[in-house]
Structure 1
């Protein structure tokens, strides 16, 4: 359970939006970045460099509600 805070040039304080999701992650192999990599390949490398990948999201199931 969390809030997603978004910022824009016209709203530097930010806007808070409830983000109650269950997020599933998995470990992945970090790709090698070639010296002549395209801008798209560079962007993919930056995203995957952490070694983690989000593979699914769903609404948070609240079992404590009656």
Structure 2
């Protein structure tokens, strides 16, 4: 069951990661990043993604709410 959950969380994950890495590169290649942005947008539309989240944030929120 965890495997299917991880796959759901990773929808368009490769495209998002590629875009983030492009933005972080020096020198910055705007044309390449715009192309990667368009790929991510197409994936989001195809997969009907509504929102992205980071797994670490979810874990941190759970940990911090339990300690208060």
- TM interval, short-chain normalised: under 0.3
Q: Of the two structures, which has the highest relative contact order with CA contacts closer than 8 Å and spacing of 6 or more?
A: 1
Q: Rg: which structure is higher?
A: 1
TM-score, structure 2 as length reference: 0.27
TM-score, structure 1 as length reference: 0.27
